[in-house]
Amino acid sequence: KHIGPLVKTTMTRCIQCTRCVRFSTEVAGVTDLGLIGRGEDVEITSYLEAAMTSELQGNIIDLCPVGALTSKPYEFKARPWELTKTESIDVMDAVGTSIRVDSRANEVMRVMPRLNESVNEEWLSDKGRFIFDGLKTQRLDRPYLRVNGKLAPVSWAEAFAAIAAKVKATTPQKIGALAGQLASVEDMFALQALMKALGSSNIDARYPGSPLHPKHGRASYLFNSTIAGIEEADAILIIGSNPRHEAPVLNARIRKRYLKGGLSVALVGERADLTYPYSYEGAGPESLEAAASKLFAGKTKPMVIVGQGALNRADGAAVLAAAAKLAKAHGALTAEWNGFNILHTEASLVGALDIGFVPFEGGLDTTGMIKAGALDVLYLLGVDEVEIPAGAFVIYQGTHGDRGAHRADVILPSATYTEKSGLYVNTEGRVQLASRAIFPPGEAREDWAVIRGFAEAMGLALPFDSLTGLRKALYTAHPHFVVLGAIESGAISSVEALADSGAGVSKEPFHAAIKDYHLTNAIARASRVMGECASIAQRPVAVAAE
C-alpha cells in the first residue's frame, strides 16, 4: 500500500493490532488510517490509497510491533548495529524535542525520538525525523568570493582578507550582523563579541517587526506555562498561530489535554484544522477582548498562546501588550500560574534574547539593517528568510547554497546542528545541548571557530580561543546556561508591566507565520523527502463520490 513518501508498508506482516490507526486518530487527530472488512478479510488502509497528511505520521514506524510499517527514506540503508548513536536535540522548531541521531562513517542515516516526558513525551515531528537527507545536499564545503559578479572558490585567508578590506574601508556604524533560526547560543555569543570588538551596535536575531526584547523581562518571551503545563489548563486562547504547523508535538499535547475533557479552545487568526475542536472568534486584534471574556469566564487556569504571526508585524508591540493585558485581566497571572505564553517557531530566538542578541544602545534592528543604503557590510549567520537589498557587502556564514548564499559576496561554510556541539533554548526557556554526531564536510568549520578565525585576521582580541573558553565566558555572563534541562522562569511582574504599555492595534488580520510546513529552512529546502511532502501537501484533496 502506498501511504506517502515517509512510511513504507509491508502489509503481509500486519497483525491488525490497530496501533497505527489509534495513534493517527487519537494522538495525531487525523483520520488517515482505518480498518475495513470483517473476519479474515480485515485490513488496515488509507481507504483511497492516499498519502497520510499528519505532521506526526513517522511515529507509527516506532509503534508498529511487527515491521509492517517502516521508514521509507531509511529502507535498505544500514543495519542498526552499524550505527553510532548520539543523543541530541531537534532544531526544526522551537519545541526542543529530544532525539537520537544515528550515523555511519560521516553520514546521518536516521533520526529517532528520545523519551522526554517534560517536552515531547515519545513523539517526534516528521520534519525532525526525515530532514536528514537535506544535511548532505547542496552543502557549502569551501569559502567563496564574488569576483566580477560570479562566486569563485577561494582559501580561508583570501575570504577573510576580502572581508577585512571592506570592514576597514567603512565605519562601525555601517556594519551589522543578523543571526538565523538554526544558530546555537555559542555561535551568537561569539558573533556578539566580534561586533563589540568592531565597535558596531547593529546586531539582531528577530524577524522584522518583532517586539520581543530582553528589556521586558524573560517572562515576556517564554512559553511560561511550560509544555507539560498545557495538561493543567482549562481554557486556551490561541492568537495568530497555527500550532499544528509551528510546533506539531506541542499541538499533540493540546489535543491530549482536550481528550481528557474540560478544556475550551478559541482561535483568533487564520482558520486552520488544529486536530481538535475550537471556537473561531475572528481574524484580527479587534476580536481579542470579546473572545477572552467569553472563553475565560469562570476558568481557574486560563492560557494565552501568542504566535509569531501576531507579533511579526508593524503593530507587534501593541499586540504583545494587548495579549499581556488579556492575561492579567482574566486571571492568567497568579502566584501559582503564569498563563501568558509566546510560541516560537525558530530554535535560536529564545537563546538570542537570553544573551541579549538585540541592537546595543543606538543600534539598528533587523528592519533598519535591511533598508537600502543602511549598511555597507552585513554579516549573515545562517540567515535565509529575510530579503537583503542590493548595495551592502554581504558575508554569508552558513551550511547550504540557499537564498542567503545566492545573495552573498563572501561565503564562509559552517556546520549544521548534527556537526557541532551547541546549546539551544526551547520555547519554554529550557536549556538543551545538541551534540555532534558527524563532522562538517570539506573545509567547513564550526561557526564560533569561523568567527574566531576572522577576528584574528582582523587583529581583534576575542575573550576565548576554544569552545571550552567560549562556554566559560558565556556561563560567566549568563549563569542560567550552566544547568542543562532546567527552566529559569521569568517574573510575572514583567508580564504585568507589559500589560500597562502599548498603543492601539490595527485592524489588519493575523497571518500564520509558516506558509509551508515542510520548507521552513535551508536544510528542509535541500531535502528531497521534504520537497516530495510539500508537493503532496499542495495538491487538492480528492473527495470520494457518494
> Would you list the DSSP string of 353-374?
HHTT-S--TT---HHHHTSTTS
Helix (H, G, I), strand (E, B) or coil at 74: coil
pLDDT score recorded for residue 540: 57
Q: Is the Cβ–Cβ distance between 331 and 533 less than 8 Å?
A: no
Judging by beta carbons within 10 Å of its beta carbon (0-12, 13-18, 19+), is residue 331 exposed, middle or buried?
middle
Helix (H, G, I), strand (E, B) or coil at 44: strand
Q: Cβ contacts of residue 531 below 8 Å, gap of 6+?
A: 518, 519, 525
Cα separation, 493 vs 224, whole angstroms: 13
With CA atoms as reference, report the closest residue to 398 among 110, 181, 92: 181
Strand duo 84-89 + 98-104: pairing: antiparallel
Which residues does the chain have with pLDDT short of 70? 502-503, 539-546
Tally of CB atoms within 10 A around 80: 9
Cα angle 392, 397, 403; round to 5: 70
Cα separation, 54 vs 533, whole angstroms: 11
Amino acid (1-letter code) at residue 439: F
Tally of CB atoms within 10 A around 149: 5
pLDDT score recorded for residue 494: 87
pLDDT score recorded for residue 32: 86
Cα separation, 108 vs 225, whole angstroms: 35
Amino acid (1-letter code) at residue 394: V
pLDDT score recorded for residue 541: 53
Tally of CB atoms within 10 A around 528: 12
pLDDT score recorded for residue 213: 92
Q: Cβ contacts of residue 434 below 8 Å, gap of 6+?
A: 88, 89, 91, 184, 417, 418, 420, 421, 422, 423, 424
Long-range CB contact pairs, 291-300, < 8 A, 24+: 291/237, 291/266, 292/237, 292/326, 292/329, 292/330, 293/330, 294/266, 295/235, 295/237, 295/264, 295/266, 296/235, 296/237, 296/330, 296/331, 296/332, 299/234, 299/235, 299/264, 299/330, 299/331, 300/234, 300/331
Cα separation, 126 vs 62, whole angstroms: 12
Q: Cβ contacts of residue 212 below 8 Å, gap of 6+?
A: 206, 220, 221, 311, 320, 342, 349, 353
pTM above 0.75, yes or no: yes
With CA atoms as reference, report the closest residue to 276 among 264, 293, 292: 264
pLDDT score recorded for residue 539: 67
Residues in the chain: 546
pLDDT score recorded for residue 341: 93
Q: Cβ contacts of residue 368 below 8 Å, gap of 6+?
A: 202, 359, 374
State the residue for C-alpha cell 507539560: 228
Q: What is the DSSP string of 390-417?
A: TTSEEEEEESBSSHHHHH-SEEEEB--T
Q: What is the DSSP string of 204-271?
A: E-SPTT----GGG-GGGSSBTT-SGGGGG-SEEEEES--HHHH-HHHHHHHHHHHHHS--EEEEESS-
Residue 185, CA distances (Å) to 349, 470, 515 in order: 9, 10, 27
- For the chain, the 3-state helix, strand and coil shares in percent, each to the nearest 5, are 35, 20, 45
Amino acid (1-letter code) at residue 2: H
Cα separation, 93 vs 173, whole angstroms: 33
Cα angle 178, 184, 187; round to 5: 60
Distance from chain centroid for Cα 142: 26
pLDDT score recorded for residue 425: 95
pLDDT score recorded for residue 546: 41
